[in-house]
Structure formats: C-alpha cells, structure tokens
Amino acid sequence: MTTRTLCLSLLVLVSTAFPAQAVRLARTRLSPHVTFSLALAAIAGLAWFVTPLRPLLTLPFDTRFYAIAIGAGLAAPFVEYVIGSLTMRRFARLAVHERSGRGATALLAAVAAAAAEEALFRGVAFTLLEQWLVPAAVIAITSVVYGLNHLYFGWLTVWQKTLTGVGFGTLFVLSGHSLVIPLIAHVTQNLVVLLVLQRRAP
C-alpha cells in the first residue's frame, strides 16, 4: 500500500493506533494483559505488512546508542513519576499503576507490547508521515497518538506517555531510524516498572 497524501497517512495512523482500548472492551477468559498484547501485536503486524517500510531493524555502528537506550529506559519510569507528581502537586509513594499485572504473563505482555508499539509508532508512523513532515513534527504527532493509546489508564498516563514517546522518537531519529534503539529503551522501561518498582498497596 502506498499512501499518497498526508491526510491518508494520518488516517492510517489514527485507525491503527488504539488497540490498547481492547483491554477495556474485551470479554474473554484471557487476562487483560494477554488481550492487550494480542490486539496490539495484530494491529501492528497488519500495519507493518501493508506499509512500504525501509529496513528498520538495522543495528547502529555507534555502540553508545545501546548504552543511551538502556539509560533512557531506566530513567523513563522516574521521569514519568516526576511528571505525575508535579501534575498532581504531590509526591506519592513510587509504585506501579494499580491496573498493572504481575507474574510471567504480565512480563511477557510488557515485552510484547513494547515491540508492537515501537513497530507501530516509531516504525510504521514515521514511514508514513516523514514523507510530508519534518522529523520534529513527526515525533510530536506520533508521541501524542502513542500517549492517547494509553487512555485506558487515565489522562495523566496519556500526558506521561506522550513525553516518553518524544524521547523514544528522538532516539529513533538520532540512531539513523533504527527501530532497535527505541525498542531497547522501551523494553527496559517496562522491565523496570514490572520488576523493580514496588507495587501500590490495594
């Protein structure tokens, strides 16, 4: 598929950008995390299949990018915490969101979701939009849509994830459009959230 206009490119992005809402709508015996991961992976895979993509899984020669990606992933949860605390005007105990899961299923879902989100937002979306817009505008648009993909968790999370998306998008551009770098950062962030941060008491 070739998108010939900016409006069509934006329509494709918006149409494929909200599988996370399947968590709220799903009526299934599977856990919400499995439902979320399957929905997100299916949409991202379909979008990748129908979009003419450059090779995006190339590895940057500059090894500093890998260290930067890991550092960004380690810092992202704490940056989001500070953003949330400033927004709420209070510093609460650092904890995982109460709707997060636990165990191997949640861990697998977190890694799979990171891969699918990077393929969709930093892969497909950039390929569609950079034909028409400067990189800064593409980062801004894809970050906002990436943030809105987390609306299930509330508007504060949308704001936090939008800013995190700016970081992931910037890594993608600076690494020469290698999807591997923001993917490393995103997976690292999810692992920190699930394995390091203390769970909020019910």
Residue 43 lies in a domain: yes
The reply to whether the predicted model has a pTM over 0.85 is: no
Four-residue CA torsion sign, 44, 116, 141, 145: positive
Residue 68 lies in a domain: yes
Give the domain range for residue 176: 6-195
Residue 145 lies in a domain: yes
Closest-CA residue to 101 (of 155, 36, 163, 158): 36
Residue 1 lies in a domain: no
Q: Please give the helix or strand (H or E) that residue 76 lies within, else none.
A: helix 64-88
Q: Please state at what angle helix 6-15 crosses helix 135-148, rounded to 10 degrees.
A: 30
The tens-digit pLDDT sequence of the chain (202 residues) is 444 566 656 666 666 666 555 555 444 555 666 666 677 777 777 767 766 666 666 777 788 999 999 999 999 988 888 887 787 766 555 544 544 555 666 677 778 888 888 888 888 888 888 888 899 999 999 999 899 888 877 888 889 999 999 999 999 999 988 889 999 999 999 888 877 765 443 4
Q: Calculate the CA 6 to chain-centre distance.
A: 22
Other beta carbons within 10 angstroms of residue 150's beta carbon come to 23
Is the distance from CB of 179 to CB of 48 less than 8 angstroms? Answer: no
Give the separation between CA 65 and CA 130, rounded to whole angstroms. 22
Backbone angles phi, psi at 153, to 5 degrees: -90, -5
Total tally of structural domains belonging to the chain? 1
Residue 75 lies in a domain: yes
The radius of gyration of the chain from alpha carbons, rounded to an integer in Å, stands at 16
Residue 45 lies in a domain: yes
Residue 200 lies in a domain: no
- Which tokens go with 59? 């590895």
